[in-house]
Amino acid sequence: MNYLTNLFHALDLDSLLDLLIRLLAVLLCLTVHELCHGLAAYALGDPTAKRNHRLSLNPLRHIDWFGFAMLAVAGFGWAKPVPVNPYYFKRPKMGMALTALAGPASNFLLALILLALVHPLAAFHAAVWSGVVLEFLLRAALLSIGLGLFNLIPIPPLDGSKVLFSVLPDRQYNWLLRYERIGMVALWVLVAFGIGSRYLSAAIYAVFRLFCRVVGL
């Protein structure tokens, strides 16, 4: 019994709480991002995501556990890609671009909603749980903005590349799609060496401050 008591007191509860908040924020942001990819594709006529049970708020439908761990620990990660069949779209390239944009757009909207909840919850400042909830809202909003901006980088397989590719002639478009894995290698190199991370961080905090002003914080 003494051993268990000592073990409990040895635990850094603040660190555990910090980890829990981070994991919940990652689950929320990734789930909304992938769900909105699927919803956009479905709205444009592609039922593939629905057939694969990806039009769901259940995080387990979307989470790639290694990518989830990477995002929680290193700030760079991924979820299971939502399956999309562009041949269902009337205009395949435009459909792919809109489906890709739905992910980052949903993260920006989610961040605005989370920040808009800060004022009402701040009224409960005397409650023990309110500080934890407020920290979750702020950190999840920051993470959601980061996820949205990161995915707008025009390097395959990020969403920004789908938008960039959509303005290219069909021959170049199909060639780039075929060699998306090269882009993935380039992305890993950029992340591993922190290339451009300073500019991305500056952009994230700039958008965060802008969104705070928009909701009156």
pLDDT digits (tens, 9 = 90+) for 70-104: 776 766 677 888 999 989 999 998 999 999 999 99
Between 165 and 141, the more confident residue is 141
- How much of the chain exceeds pLDDT 90, in percent? 48
* CA dist list (Å): 10 to 6, 15, 20: 6, 12, 18
From residue 41, give the alpha-carbon distance in Å to each of 120, 180, 216.
34, 20, 34
Establish whether 135 is a catalytic residue.
Answer: no
Q: Is the pLDDT of residue 14 over 90?
A: no
pLDDT band at 142 (very low <50, low <70, confident <90, very high): very high
Find the catalytic residue in 21, 25, 26, 34: 34
State the average pLDDT for the chain: 84
Specify the DSSP class assigned to residue 87.
Answer: G
- Spatial contact of 145 and 108, defined as CB atoms under 8 Å apart: yes
Which has more pLDDT, 165 or 35? 35
Angle (nearest 5°) at CA 41 between 37 and 47:
120
Most distant CA pair in the chain, distance: 71
Look at residue 179 in the predicted model and tell me its pLDDT.
65
CA-to-CA distance for 202 and 209, rounded, in angstroms? 11
Kindly write down the DSSP assignment for every residue of 32-86, as one continuous string: HHHHHHHHHHHHTT--HHHHTT-S-S-GGGT--HHHHHHHHHHS----PPPP--G
Q: What is the four-CA torsion angle of 84, 87, 91, 97, rounded to 10 degrees?
A: 20
The tens digit of pLDDT for each residue in 40-80 reads 999 999 999 999 999 999 999 998 888 777 776 766 677 88
The whole-model pTM stands at 0.86
From CA 90, how far away is CA 77, in angstroms rounded? 32
Q: How far apart are CA 23 and CA 118, in angstroms?
A: 20
Q: 147-183 burial string, b = 16+ CB within 10 Å, else e? A: bbbbbbeeebbbbbbbbbbbeeeeeebeebeeeeeeb
